Amino acid sequence: MDALLSPEAIEWREKARDLAERVVRPLAAKYDRAQEYPWEIRDALAEAGMFGVWIPKEYGGAGGGVMELCLVVEQLSRACGGVGVLFAVNALGSFPILLAGTEEQKQKYLPPIAKGEKLIAFALSERPAGSDASGLVTNAHQDGDHWVLNGSKKWNTNGGAADIYSVFAVTDPTSKSRRISALIAEKGDEGFEIGRTEDKMGIRCVPVVELHFNDCRLPADRLLGGKPGLGFKHAMMTLDRARPGVAAQALGLATGALELATVYATDRVQFGQPISSFQMIQAMLADMASSVEAGRQLIYAAARACDAGDRSLTKMAAMSKLYATEMAMKVTTDAVQIFGGYGYMKDYPIEKYMRDAKITQIYEGTNQVQRLVIARQLIKEAGSLDHLRAFIPLPDHPNTLEDLARAEAEQAETPVS
Closest residue to ligand CAA, Cβ-based? 365
Helices (H) and strands (E) in the chain, counts: 12, 9
**Residue 95 or residue 122: which is nearer to ligand CAA going by CB?**
122
Residue with Cβ nearer ligand CAA (256 or 365): 365
Q: Does 312 bind ligand CAA (CB under 6 A)?
A: no
Name the minimum Å distance from CB 127 to ligand CAA: 13
Query: Among residues 68, 74, 210, 364, which one is catalytic?
Result: 364
- Residue (107 or 368) nearer to ligand CAA, CB: 368
Query: Is 168 an interacting residue with respect to ligand CAA (CB under 6 A)?
Result: no
Distance CA 257, CA 79 (A): 9
For β-strands 208-219 and 192-197, DSSP reports them as antiparallel
- When binding is defined by CB under 6 A, the residue of 192, 329, 364, 374 that contacts ligand CAA is 364
Question: Should residue 240 be labelled a site residue for ligand CAA when binding is judged by CB under 6 A?
Answer: yes
Label residue 70 exposed, middle or buried (CB < 10 Å: 0-12, 13-18, 19+): buried
Query: How long, in residues, is the chain?
Result: 417
To the nearest 10°, the Cα dihedral for 170, 174, 178, 179?
A: 20
DSSP string, 258-289: HHHHHHHHHH-EETTEEGGGSHHHHHHHHHHH
Q: Does 365 bind ligand CAA (CB under 6 A)?
A: yes
Within residues 120-159, the interface with ligand CAA by CB under 6 A covers 122, 124-125, 131, 133-134, 155, 157
What distance in Å separates the CA atoms of residue 72 and residue 84, rounded to the nearest whole number?
Answer: 8
Closest CA to 185 of 155, 151, 208: 151
Q: How far apart are CA 166 and CA 185, in angstroms?
A: 7
Indicate if 364 belongs to the active site: yes
Site string for ligand CAA, 269-308 (x = CB under 6 A): ----------------------------------------
List of residues contacting ligand CAA (CB under 6 A): 89, 92, 122, 124-125, 131, 133-134, 155, 157, 177, 232-233, 236-237, 239-240, 314, 363-365, 369, 372-373
What residues are labeled active site?
364
